[in-house]
């Protein structure tokens, strides 16, 4: 009986380390996703402004 309890404690300790690792990886993935979204947002905004400027230049001529 004592061996079973000891094994279960080791499993719980390893699970805690695994949960910590998964939490860290999830946090990193979330930060990368936010960074990509911000970059794509500003690239699209810049492209839209360039297209509007080109349209206005062409419509004036």
Q: Domain locations in the chain?
A: 1-61
**What is the gyration radius of the CA atoms in the chain, in angstroms?**
26
Integer Cα distance of 31 and 34 in angstroms: 5
Which DSSP symbol is given to 20?
H
Supply the pLDDT for residue 60. 83
Share of residues in the chain with pLDDT > 90 (%): 57
The pair of three-digit structure tokens given for residue 18, joined into one six-digit string: 């695994």
Supply the pLDDT for residue 31. 98
Greater model confidence, 19 or 40: 40
pTM over 0.75: no
């Amino acid at each position: 009986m004592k061996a079973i309890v000891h094994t279960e404690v080791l499993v719980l300790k390893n699970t805690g380390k695994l949960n910590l690792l998964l939490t860290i990886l999830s946090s990193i993935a979330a930060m990368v996703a936010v960074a990509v979204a911000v970059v794509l947002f500003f690239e699209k905004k810049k492209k839209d402004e360039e297209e509007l400027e080109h349209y206005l230049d062409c419509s004036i001529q």
